[in-house]
Chains A and B, each alone.
Chain A
């Protein structure tokens, strides 16, 4: 086994390490921010390249010049101004589809569309990631990542860490749960009943719902059936992030939706798959702001503060 100063820049190890760094950057963003989607695209690109290079770095080399093939084999061509060129990401995706049974046309199409968003972000004045709700794409994204990682003999934990891998599995299950679409029918049924009510009834119920939603803990949003104020409840995911800013301490905790309730039309939806199927699957963040004194008071408060100093007399 020979010592080596550097990995080949197209080696699966180097590309995967970068995918991991991009994944960490992605998870450090709020899921509501466009940067979350942007970093997800950079993660996917590196993972796609790492997966293809797992077979051989020669598959990454640009076809146009034999210099690049030579370079991919670990040699440096003796030519002036040589810069290594690799194939485009769309070519990487095409090759993976031809090589792997698991990476099918469905995965190929998703990867191409996600890479198009990245291209649009980098090369145009449009804001493609700003208009995306992560509940629409994140399950599919993780599902594709899981397939690519499996080709390399890895699992979601290896790229996203244990906490996020657990959330990712829930999102993947929801993405594959076709029966969850039945919830759309339930919503329509509630909508029909709601529309059959008189205007006065609707107004009273909507007011009651607004009061209820503001007095209970949960994430407030509009009911997909009657448009009244309703609540989504969730299970905490990841760790609490804490920021300290002079006199205040802000704690943020992300939640994965688990249950929806509207007291106006009576619609209730249980389970992430169903919530995701009707567009209520976005994770939400609970933010608590504390006064620094109030925050530390309980642990710092000296219950003996008005006593004289301890003394062994």
Chain B
């Protein structure tokens, strides 16, 4: 089995907020690769492997991205932004590739540079829906273990104060975003994303890409430092 130490995954993630491993161990299952790289999250709601396939709006549900955006672009977001502590990493792995569907990664520093620091610190959001029957305020820039996480989701989060309203407007008016785009095209192509340091998005699905299959797992930490 390939040694993940040599891949400098943690170095890449620390500096860029993502690590891309082309055709990585294509004969291994997604859970095996996830366990090799880090510690998959054990949580009833998000543990295990999630199979992501394009769905039309009408074939999905309103609580899902596909149920809102269908085959159109998915906007930049943090996975599980409506949770107090979202998963730290997500791992996306190509099962059935596509040549024209991009996974886009945007480093949060590019957003933070555009927001006055006091606004970022003051902005409060609320989940659009109660989580386990409770509603709570969530900081846009949330201190976390000596650092911070940034959260954003235009669908699942609602601004709860003026600072959050301004940040929402800024995201909605954003254009020409300088993101890094990846094609998960060959079996085993693996993209690991730091969900605290970056936002990610998916481009629209063309007719020839409707059979795209990507598997996703969430990781708490990496096996070789983080």
The chain A residues found within 8 Å of chain B, CB to CB, are 1-7, 9, 13-14, 17-18, 20-21, 24, 157-158, 161-162
A-B contact pairs, 14 of them (CB 8 A): A3-B41, A3-B86, A3-B218, A4-B85, A5-B45, A6-B132, A9-B136, A17-B138, A17-B139, A20-B122, A21-B160, A157-B118, A158-B122, A161-B118
B223 interface residue per 8 A CB criterion: no
Minimal Cβ-Cβ distance residue in A for B139: A17
CB pair B118 A162 closer than 8 Å: yes
Closest 8 pairs between A and B when the two form their complex, measured CB to CB: A17-B137, A4-B85, A7-B84, A3-B87, A5-B83, A4-B84, A5-B131, A6-B84
The chain B residues found within 8 Å of chain A, CB to CB, are 41, 43, 45-46, 80, 83-88, 118, 121-122, 124, 131-132, 134, 136-139, 142, 144-145, 160-162, 218, 220-221
Contacts of A5 in B (CB 8 A): 45, 83-84, 131-132
Q: Complex Cα distance A2/B39, Å?
A: 10
Q: In the assembled complex, how far is the CB of residue B139 from the closest CB belonging to chain A, in whole angstroms?
A: 6
Known A-B contacts A24-B162, A158-B121; the reply to A3 vs B88 at CB < 8 A is: yes
Q: In the assembled complex, how far is the CB of residue B161 from the closest CB belonging to chain A, in whole angstroms?
A: 5
Contacts of B131 in A (CB 8 A): 5-6
Q: Complex Cα distance A3/B88, Å?
A: 7
Minimal Cβ-Cβ distance residue in B for A162: B118
CB pair A21 B161 closer than 8 Å: yes
Q: Which of B83, B122, B221 contacts A4 (CB 8 A)?
A: B83
Q: Which of A2, A14, A24 contacts B136 (CB 8 A)?
A: A14
Q: In the assembled complex, how far is the CB of residue A186 from the closest CB belonging to chain B, in whole angstroms?
A: 40
Minimal Cβ-Cβ distance residue in B for A11: B84
CB pair A3 B220 closer than 8 Å: yes
CB pair A20 B84 closer than 8 Å: no
Contacts of A7 in B (CB 8 A): 84, 136
CB pair B220 A2 closer than 8 Å: yes
Contacts of B124 in A (CB 8 A): 17, 20-21
Contacts of A162 in B (CB 8 A): 118
Q: Is the interface of A mostly helix, strand, loop or mixed?
A: helix
Contacts of A20 in B (CB 8 A): 122, 124, 137, 161
Known A-B contacts A9-B136, A17-B137, A21-B160; the reply to A1 vs B88 at CB < 8 A is: yes
Q: In the assembled complex, how far is the CB of residue B167 from the closest CB belonging to chain A, in whole angstroms?
A: 15
- The residue in A5, A17, A20, A157 that gathers the most chain B C-beta atoms within 10 A of its C-beta is A5
Q: Complex Cα distance A17/B144, Å?
A: 15
Q: Which of B118, B122, B137, B145 contacts A18 (CB 8 A)?
A: B137
CB pair A14 B85 closer than 8 Å: no
CB pair B221 A1 closer than 8 Å: yes
Q: In the assembled complex, how far is the CB of residue B60 from the closest CB belonging to chain A, in whole angstroms?
A: 22
Q: Complex Cα distance A18/B139, Å?
A: 11
Q: In the assembled complex, how far is the CB of residue A162 from the closest CB belonging to chain B, in whole angstroms?
A: 5
Minimal Cβ-Cβ distance residue in A for B42: A2
Contacts of B139 in A (CB 8 A): 13, 17
Q: Complex Cα distance A157/B117, Å?
A: 11
Contacts of B122 in A (CB 8 A): 20, 158, 161
Q: Complex Cα distance A17/B127, Å?
A: 14
Known A-B contacts A17-B124, A20-B124, A24-B162; the reply to A1 vs B137 at CB < 8 A is: no
Q: Which of A3, A157, A161 contacts B80 (CB 8 A)?
A: A3
Q: In the assembled complex, how far is the CB of residue B38 from the closest CB belonging to chain A, in whole angstroms?
A: 11
Contacts of A9 in B (CB 8 A): 134, 136
CB pair A6 B134 closer than 8 Å: yes
Q: In the assembled complex, how far is the CB of residue B90 from the closest CB belonging to chain A, in whole angstroms?
A: 11
Q: Complex Cα distance A256/B134, Å?
A: 41
Q: Complex Cα distance A4/B46, Å?
A: 11
Q: Complex Cα distance A235/B221, Å?
A: 53
Minimal Cβ-Cβ distance residue in B for A160: B122
Minimal Cβ-Cβ distance residue in B for A153: B143
CB pair B145 A1 closer than 8 Å: yes
Q: Complex Cα distance A7/B142, Å?
A: 12
Contacts of B160 in A (CB 8 A): 21
Q: Complex Cα distance A22/B153, Å?
A: 24
CB pair B161 A2 closer than 8 Å: no
Contacts of B132 in A (CB 8 A): 5-6
Contacts of B45 in A (CB 8 A): 5
Minimal Cβ-Cβ distance residue in B for A154: B121
Q: Complex Cα distance A98/B85, Å?
A: 33
Contacts of A18 in B (CB 8 A): 137
Minimal Cβ-Cβ distance residue in A for B196: A1
